[in-house]
Amino acid sequence: MSKKLDFSLEFFPPATAEGVEKLRAVRSELAVLGPDFFSVTYGAGGSTRDRTLQVVREIREAGIEAAPHLSCIGATQQSIRDHLAEFRSMGVKRIVALRGDLPSGMADPGEFRYASELVGFIRQETGDEFFLEVASYPEVHPQARSYDADVRAFANKVQAGANSSITQYFYNADAYFSFVDAARKAGVTIPIVPGIMPIASFSKLARFSESCGAEIPQWMRRRFEGFGDDAEAIRAFGLDVVTRLCEQLISGGAPSLHFYTLNQAGMTRELVHRLGLAK
Ligand code: FAD
């Protein structure tokens, strides 16, 4: 039997005690599916530092690999050094290295301009100790000067020492395949893992997609709008669309899948089962 495709799952660190409890339950529900690793996001400018570390610690205690995200906007070399020392003491092996976005009201961008500089700095300080994931954008990062400039920026992160990449979410498989082609032409050989966003609420997704530059195709938008407040119809259609997307990505050669769980178990669990990825 051929080996099942790996998959990883992303959480954000909850802000309330209730959210922490809920995430514990969600995590154990999803752990039985056999993910390769869990990753935990990091609030812009370090706002979730302790909470991110706490969730990472708990996941590791449960015997699953946990990858903290780390963003460098607003950071100093010394603050990143401190983070790396903490990761080492916790036994962390994988980091998702990002630039992040300067939070409103925070004026000092710190000592790093781009994620490539963070990746280079981590390599300089710790050699090959950590497996480094970086972000990539099949539909182009919103601040990029051009498509080609964004592919070059991605190639720079790889040149600086990234081992693998997770993409921003998208709903158009061709955008992914053409980005992979462009990256390969630019000399990038590392895995480019599609980031998959399940659709639980269309209105929330539409708002969020505008800020991060992910496109919702017109036909999908119109179908969702047609369902009005019918949560069941939205859920069923969202699951079908995302299952089909994942099937296209897998048959086109995606190396694994990374699910943005939004700290909910239901949709991700259903997708993993439908795709036959549960271990
Ligand atoms: P970079 O790779 O530095 O790119 C940022 C922009 O700068 C791009 O437009 C790029 O084209 C441009 N650029 C890069 N290098 C150069 C150069 N030398 N000259 C000119 N332009 C350049 N955000 C969080 O706050 N916390 C998280 O935990 C988090 N997790 C994420 C996980 C994934 C998988 C993804 C896809 C995104 C995540 N983000 C997170 C969002 C991310 O921080 C933002 O998209 C941010 O705006 C860019 O971060 P980056 O690491 O891609 O930056």
Model confidence pLDDT, tens digit, residues 94-125: 999 999 998 888 888 899 999 999 999 999 99
Query: Is there a domain that residue 279 lies in?
Result: no
- Which ipTM was obtained for this model? 0.99
Alpha carbon nearest to ligand 1 atom 2, residue: 115
Number of domains in the chain: 1
Taken as a whole, the chain contains a residue count of 279
Active-site residue list: 10
Token readout for 205 is 């997704």
> Mean pLDDT score of the chain, rounded to an integer?
96
Token readout for 234 is 């939205």
Residue whose C-alpha is closest to residue 253's, from 168, 197, 157, 179: 179
CB contact at 8 A, 264 and 200: yes
Residue 45: pLDDT band (50, 70, 90) is confident
Measure the CA–CA gap between 67 and 52, rounded to whole angstroms: 10
CB contact at 8 A, 161 and 132: yes
| Rounded (5°) CA angle 274-245-264 | 60
Model confidence pLDDT, tens digit, residues 28-40: 999 999 999 999 9
Task: Please work out whether the CB of residue 195 comes within 6 Å of at least one atom of ligand 1.
Answer: yes
Domain that holds residue 72: 7-274
What is the structure's pLDDT at 103?
85
Alpha carbon nearest to ligand 1 atom 14, residue: 153
Residue 93: pLDDT band (50, 70, 90) is very high
Model confidence pLDDT, tens digit, residues 182-195: 999 999 999 999 99
Confidence check: pLDDT of 243 > 70: yes
The secondary structure of 24-42 as a DSSP string is: HHHHHHHHTT--S-EEE--
What is the structure's pLDDT at 1?
55
- Burial (CB count <10 Å: 0-12, 13-18, 19+), residue 215: middle
What is the structure's pLDDT at 47?
85
Alpha carbon nearest to ligand 1 atom 9, residue: 144
Model confidence pLDDT, tens digit, residues 61-82: 999 999 999 999 999 999 999 9
Task: Please work out whether the CB of residue 48 comes within 6 Å of at least one atom of ligand 1.
Answer: no
The secondary structure of 65-118 as a DSSP string is: -EEEEEE-TT--HHHHHHHHHHHHHHT--EEEEE---PPTT----TT--SHHHH
Measure the CA–CA gap between 66 and 61, rounded to whole angstroms: 10
Ligand 1 closest atom vs CA 12: 28
Q: CA torsion sign, 70 to 75 to 79 to 80?
A: positive
Task: Please work out whether the CB of residue 256 comes within 6 Å of at least one atom of ligand 1.
Answer: no
What is the structure's pLDDT at 187?
98
What is the structure's pLDDT at 105?
81
Query: Is there a domain that residue 121 lies in?
Result: yes
**Rounded to whole angstroms, what are the CA distances from 4 to 25, 71, 171?**
25, 31, 23
% the chain with pLDDT above 70: 99
**Rounded to whole angstroms, what are the CA distances from 158 to 147, 195, 246, 253?**
17, 18, 25, 20
Model confidence pLDDT, tens digit, residues 129-146: 999 999 999 999 999 999
What is the structure's pLDDT at 139?
97
Task: Please work out whether the CB of residue 269 comes within 6 Å of at least one atom of ligand 1.
Answer: no
Query: Is there a domain that residue 13 lies in?
Result: yes
Query: Is there a domain that residue 1 lies in?
Result: no
When pLDDT is averaged across residues 243-266 and rounded to a whole number, the result is 98
**Kind and range of the H or E run holding 194:** strand 192-196
- Tell me how far apart the terminal alpha carbons of the chain are, to the nearest angstrom: 13
Query: 150 C-alpha vs ligand 1 centroid, how far in Å?
Result: 10
Measure the CA–CA gap between 221 and 137, rounded to whole angstroms: 21
When pLDDT is averaged across residues 148-174 and rounded to a whole number, the result is 98
What is the structure's pLDDT at 218?
95
- Residue 61: give its domain's CATH number: 3.20.20.220
Helix (H, G, I), strand (E, B) or coil at 164: strand
CB contact at 8 A, 13 and 41: yes
